[in-house]
Amino acid sequence: MMCLLAGHCRVAAQEVVLPHGLTVNMLLNTGQVFLNGYPANTPLEQAVTYRENWQFTDISTARPVFGWMFSSGSANTKQTAYRILVASSKELLARDSADLWDTGKINSDQSLHISYNGKQLKAGAVYFWKVKTWDNYGNQSIFSEMARFKMADRLVDYATDRHPIQKQDDYPARLEKVNENTCFADFGKASFGRLRLNLYSETGTDSVHIHLGEAKKNGRIDRSPGGTIRYSRYTVKLRQGWNTYVIAIRPGKQNTGPQAVLVPEHIGEVTPFRYCEIENYRHPLQEKDVVRETAFYPFNEQDSYFLSSDTVLNRVWDISKYSVKATSFLGVYIDGDRERIPYEADAVINQLSHYGVAREYGMARYSHEYLIHHPTWPTEWILQSVLMAWEDYMYTGNKQSVEHYYNDLKAKTLTMLSDKDGFISTRTGKVTPTVLESIHFKGELRDIVDWPHTGILGLEKEEGGETDGFVFTDVNTVVNAFHYRALTLMERIAEALGKTDDQKFYQERATRLKRSFNARLFDKKRGIYVDGIGTDHASLHANMFPLAFGLVPENHVRSVSEFIRSRGMACSVYGSQFLLDGVYDAHDADYGLELLTSTGERSWYNMIRVGSTITLEAWDNKYKPNQDWNHAWGAAPANLIPRKLMGIEPLEPGFKKIRIKPQPGNLKHAEIKHPTIRGTVKASFINRPNESFRLEVDIPVNTTAKVYLPFYSGKQFFYMDDRPISYKREGNFSVIENVGSGKHVFSVGR
């Protein structure tokens, strides 16, 4: 028998599917062991006996859930049955025997979130499992490769598990002498880590100065970069002969405070840097002598890729994808290096972007659940907890989190602040201690709209902040757009959990608010939304959020979209997430591409141009003078490109059904590899605007897709897999329902 890495085995010249990508509590590679943060080859069952300096993925729930993926060379393949074995020893499992749980053959297409139902699992113990499947063509797979998992030392009914933070050694991409006693190292990209050096001293009396920084100026590290762009200096007293030195990073006061998330002990304190200067050292240095110990949450670079005919777009994708990895060094989404505090607005963008580039769901869920009990002050960001909960459910298909935190999510809709018309306000005396307690917040709720505001953080009057002149009133348009979105999503969450009374409640609330919203906040003469009741000022924000959240009636989409175009990128990098969501949902693909590929000052390309390799907190230093250069809330293209430009989104929870709806604008061609919890979606297109469009897709087993192509005219040709096929028209799209798994080619033209 010859096994192939792609997850297939050939037996008697017949292809048989082999389940792969086994997960426990949605985590891949639960058997991986780490030694001081570095992946080790020691078997899990052996490593757990060592304990000190070893790290493992702990499974905290007494009844974990199992999942897997599988591939097939046949189109329209679906699983019809499975059999899981769980054993206390690898020897038993190798004999296809299970002393803890043998499901027998279960007739089901379920391949995700199968709850353990065997003998009681013990805290701290290591277990072994595997699975086999049957498909709708009558094929029975052999058993998968054996997988391992370790139970936590304390078991609970519900918790979100994560992998340990890992380390990786990076070497300089460029190492050169600046002068006789100074060497300059460029690692190519910034990352969070610390430095390790191999240095030589003949006498043991030398002192070497080490400079670390994110920014460069005149060929050297910028020692006064401004804002929160990092620079630090260290001195090392050398011992005689060759020695290895670890530069211990000094903790910062602001990013190690009471609210900050601390670096795990096995990693040690880190700082973000790309460049290193070694000063007062004359001995020759090789690349191997200068090592950056980079820290990050486990990340598989091969999970995703994107390439297109637009070189700017490709670079925007690259910096955005890398930013997700580089800022993951704490295992929870944070605001960047300045504070290292989780904020909902950072997390909601980081969550979607992480989904877009990696098959990883634990870090997003943990961050969301952390913020439920550690909320921050802006009104809209309280509401964003509901948005994160919904995206978690849609991307994973797992209900455990929304079930566990259901009452908290109800409170986060802030319905207790609403008036008779359905509007909520934090300025009408309704924010009581009871309300604050229900959302676990100790402080003052304030509307934010966007950040920063005018006249703070060093902004001069000529720099108007990032709110486009928004006028704050008691009834705030942006806040109530978020409230509407939270209501509609709570309605769907209640429906998914079978809570029909709550479903009806949130549906009625949403309907009432939408009616009031369009009656009181829409200026019919101008065809746009104003900032709130009591002002006639209309900002970008007052229009892009209603458009993104489905509040704009179809007959007003055009006027609202035209106003949005007139304002340009008059929002922060945070606001750009919702601006582009609204633009693409209104099918203004040309403008969406224009914003994504802009080379102006307020653009993602500007982040690259100023010299950063991780997305910035703001478009430029002038728009936020205290900004940092390592903020994943600037990485929205990592989700906007797969979700909106390439159009890949879950239509049913857990990608049971997928929408593939490319909106290329004038982009000539593009291809993407997009991870989902069921497997990889691949899509590529060749686009001749207003003439023809060719789309190739590869859809995972156990899913179906709804595929959209352009609609040109009633006389157009339309082919699927080189055969004419009927379609239905939806606006300017030609739509095919229920496309099965496997590879398919679509083409449409005049």
> What sections of 310-399 are H helices per DSSP?
311-326, 344-357, 362-373, 379-396
What's the confidence (pLDDT) of residue 500? 98
Q: Answer whether residue 8 shows pLDDT above 50.
A: no
Structural domain count of the chain = 4
What's the confidence (pLDDT) of residue 119? 98
> pLDDT tens digit string along 149-184?
999 999 999 999 999 999 999 999 999 999 999 999
> pLDDT tens digit string along 130-144?
999 999 999 999 999
What's the confidence (pLDDT) of residue 51? 75
Among residues 612, 645, 678, the one where a domain terminates is 645
Q: Answer whether residue 93 shows pLDDT above 60.
A: yes
Is the domain of 175 the same as that of 87? Answer: no
- In three state form, how does the secondary structure of 550-616 look? CCCCHHHHHHHHHHHHHHCCCCCHHHHHHHHHHHHHCCCHHHHHHHHCCCCCCCHHHHHHCCCCCCC
> pLDDT tens digit string along 338-387?
999 999 999 999 999 999 999 999 999 999 999 999 999 999 999 999 99
In angstroms, rounded to a whole number, what is the distance separating the alpha carbons of residues 530 and 537? Answer: 5
Among residues 248, 268, 296, the one where a domain terminates is 296
Is the domain of 721 the same as that of 637? Answer: no
Length of the chain: 750
Q: Which domain holds residue 13?
A: 2-156
What's the confidence (pLDDT) of residue 298? 98
What's the confidence (pLDDT) of residue 144? 97
Residue 556, φ and ψ in degrees, nearest 5: -110, 0
Q: Answer whether residue 498 shows pLDDT above 90.
A: yes
Is the domain of 640 the same as that of 659? Answer: no
The confidence band for 684, taking pLDDT boundaries of 50, 70 and 90, is very high
Tell me whether residue 161 is in a domain.
no
CA trace torsion 708, 713, 714, 717 (10° rounding): -70
> pLDDT tens digit string along 183-211?
999 999 999 999 999 999 999 999 999 99
What's the confidence (pLDDT) of residue 58? 98
Is the domain of 337 the same as that of 446? Answer: yes
Is the domain of 382 the same as that of 474? Answer: yes
What's the confidence (pLDDT) of residue 89? 98
Nearest residue to 487 (alpha-carbon basis) of 502, 504, 507: 507
Is the domain of 695 the same as that of 678? Answer: yes
What's the confidence (pLDDT) of residue 454? 86
Average pLDDT over residues 457-486: 88
Is the domain of 390 the same as that of 538? Answer: yes
What's the confidence (pLDDT) of residue 457? 66
Structure-token match 């099918």, residue found: 587
Per mean pLDDT, which range of 17-21, 60-64, 483-487 is the poorest? 17-21
Tell me whether residue 312 is in a domain.
yes
Q: Kindly report whether the global pTM for this prediction surpasses the value 0.75.
A: yes
In angstroms, rounded to a whole number, what is the distance separating the alpha carbons of residues 705 and 545? Answer: 28
Tell me whether residue 266 is in a domain.
yes
Is the domain of 247 the same as that of 329? Answer: no
Tell me whether residue 324 is in a domain.
yes
Average pLDDT over residues 114-143: 97
Per mean pLDDT, which range of 132-136, 244-248, 459-463, 672-676 is the poorest? 459-463
Is the domain of 519 the same as that of 538? Answer: yes
- The CATH number assigned to the domain holding 179 equals 2.60.120.260
What's the confidence (pLDDT) of residue 425? 98
> pLDDT tens digit string along 711-731?
999 999 999 999 999 999 999
Nearest residue to 592 (alpha-carbon basis) of 344, 353, 316: 316
Q: Which residues of 162-200 are buried (b: 16+ CB within 10 A; e: fewer)?
A: bbbbbbeebebeebeeeeeebbbbebebbbbbbbebebb
How far, in whole angstroms, is CA 172 from its chain's centroid? 28
Is the domain of 90 the same as that of 186? Answer: no
Tell me whether residue 271 is in a domain.
yes
Among residues 267, 296, 325, the one where a domain terminates is 296
- The CATH number assigned to the domain holding 74 equals 2.60.40.10
Inter-residue contact 263 to 197 (CB < 8 Å): no
Is the domain of 470 the same as that of 611? Answer: yes
Q: Answer whether residue 14 shows pLDDT above 50.
A: no
- The CATH number assigned to the domain holding 675 equals 2.60.420.10
What's the confidence (pLDDT) of residue 395? 98
Is the domain of 686 the same as that of 733? Answer: yes
Residues of the chain with pLDDT > 70, as a percent, come to 97
Q: How far is CA 450 from CA 163, 386, 520, 575, in A?
A: 33, 19, 22, 7
Strand 216-217, strand 220-221: pairing: antiparallel
Tokens standing for 523? 């200026």
- The CATH number assigned to the domain holding 341 equals 1.50.10.10
